[in-house]
Amino acid sequence: MRTVTDNDTIAAIATALSPSGISIVRISGPEAFSVASRVFAEGTKGGLANVASYESHTAHYGRIQDGDGRPVDEVILLMMRAPRTYTREDTVEIDCHGGVLVTKRVLEAVLAAGARLAEPGEFTRRAYLSGRMDLSQAEAVAGIIGAKNELSLRNSVRQLRGRVREEITEIRAQLLREIAQIEATLDDPEHLSFDGFDEIITTQTATQKARIRRLIDTADDGRRITEGIRTVIVGRPNAGKSSLLNALLGEDRAIVTEVAGTTRDTLTEEIRMRGITLLLVDTAGIRSTDDAVEKIGVERARKAAAEADLILFVVDSSAPVTEDDRAIAAECAGKPCIVLLNKTDLPAAVTAAETEAFSAQASGGMIEISAKTGEGLRELEERITGLFFEERIKADDECVITSERHRQALLSAEESLSKVQESIELCMSEDFYTIDLTAAYEALGTILGEEPDEDVINAIFAEFCLGK
């Protein structure tokens, strides 16, 4: 990918290419005003404008015309001078009508006037290279665009505002102080001493390692925030699993019949619930069977349950408890699980003792529901959000790691600090400390892009959409 040092002026459609009220074509680079001046005419009858003469951050009405002087569309042109722009370069945004064809025509006119088509993520890449944002903030831009739920959006906005940067910068600053003190003492042993330094470095290393561990521990929640909670519905045949899926979706997505074993394979659907995303997986009824096809479905159900973030164990309260129910309960023991006593709209056949036994085995407790009437579904929503996302995650100042790249960098930094602790315990000389302290410092720097890896940076921006 080309970079800002190529000195190109780039352009792209910055809005979704679909019929809409308005579309935006963005131009950025040293020749942005010159390019715009070749296509923008003031008013309805005026000649080509000198865009560079406009005051910064002003809007102007006119039309876009092609190289032959033929009008393309009536537009509003927004002119913004560097460095007060997204890229910190001179920028022009052309607000045109939102038709697909007319937007493409406006872009074609701009490209013919001297701009180059921007590559995916190139505007944000330039913002990063110009120092307007660090790499974690650039990734947050993609997170905002791809947010599937309110919590994911809120967390990406916090990251864009610099919450991850603040936390990582503070840890790196402390590590740098320790590195500097060691280097200074090694360089000037006549005036500086390591007396008592082992106690200081031991405390500081443990403190920063604990801060890193706290960030790593948020990664599971971060994954669930961005990707969704993988929620697997299990139970014996005809317990009401597919009915529950349909009730939560609000539509008849899974086939529901009175015939046991209707569901033979897993079915995954995505829903938003109270600001989070659930990846709901309906499974085949788990029971002992000689049917070869049904056996495959049962094994897939067990595999899905083993990989789940949460298990919803559906029990038919209108029928006596079976050995299959007890076997499923035993398989769910020790895993995040909520028992759902379904079909409460029918006369109960499950005893209180059996109910208590199921509830005791489930970490998420038990809820009485009716997938048919909707009874208990609101309580289920509250229970799920309470199990996974406590108020601390929703706090505006909470730092939650949602990127696997960030998690790996934190794990690398944690490992380096563990080596520092080992060196201290082995009474090794202080110059050994700096090797691993520096490694931790550099690992954390990759999160911010301050220890740049060109391949990583290219991969990150390649995932962006065009125009951003």
Amino acid letter, residue 274:
R
Question: Residue 26: pLDDT above 70?
Answer: yes
- Asked if residues 153 and 147 have their Cβ atoms less than 8 Å apart, the reply is yes
Please report the pLDDT score of residue 265 as a whole number. 55
Q: Tell me: the pLDDT tens digits for 137-171?
A: 888 888 888 887 777 887 888 888 888 999 999 99
Q: Tell me: the pLDDT tens digits for 335-394?
A: 888 989 999 888 888 888 887 887 777 778 889 998 888 898 889 888 888 877 654 444
- Strand intervals (E) in 86-144: 91-98, 116-117
Q: What is the DSSP letter of 89?
A: S
Q: Tell me: the pLDDT tens digits for 383-428?
A: 888 877 654 444 455 788 888 999 999 999 999 999 999 988 888 8
- Asked if residues 363 and 389 have their Cβ atoms less than 8 Å apart, the reply is no
In terms of phi and psi (left: phi > 0; alpha: psi -120 to 50; beta: otherwise), the region of 463 is alpha
- Asked if residues 140 and 177 have their Cβ atoms less than 8 Å apart, the reply is no
* Residues across the chain: 468
Q: Which domains does the chain have, with CATH numbers?
A: 4-134 (3.30.1360.120), 138-218+400-449 (1.20.120.430), 225-393 (3.40.50.300)
Question: Residue 103: pLDDT above 80?
Answer: yes
- pTM equals 0.75
Q: Scanning the structure block, which residue is given the tokens 């406009």?
A: 54
Question: Residue 304: pLDDT above 90?
Answer: no
Q: Tell me: the pLDDT tens digits for 163-219?
A: 899 999 999 999 998 888 888 777 766 666 666 777 888 888 999 999 999 999 888
Please report the pLDDT score of residue 261 as a whole number. 47
67 C-beta neighbours (distance < 10 Å), count: 11
Question: Residue 47: pLDDT above 80?
Answer: yes
- Region 93-109: what's the mean pLDDT? 94
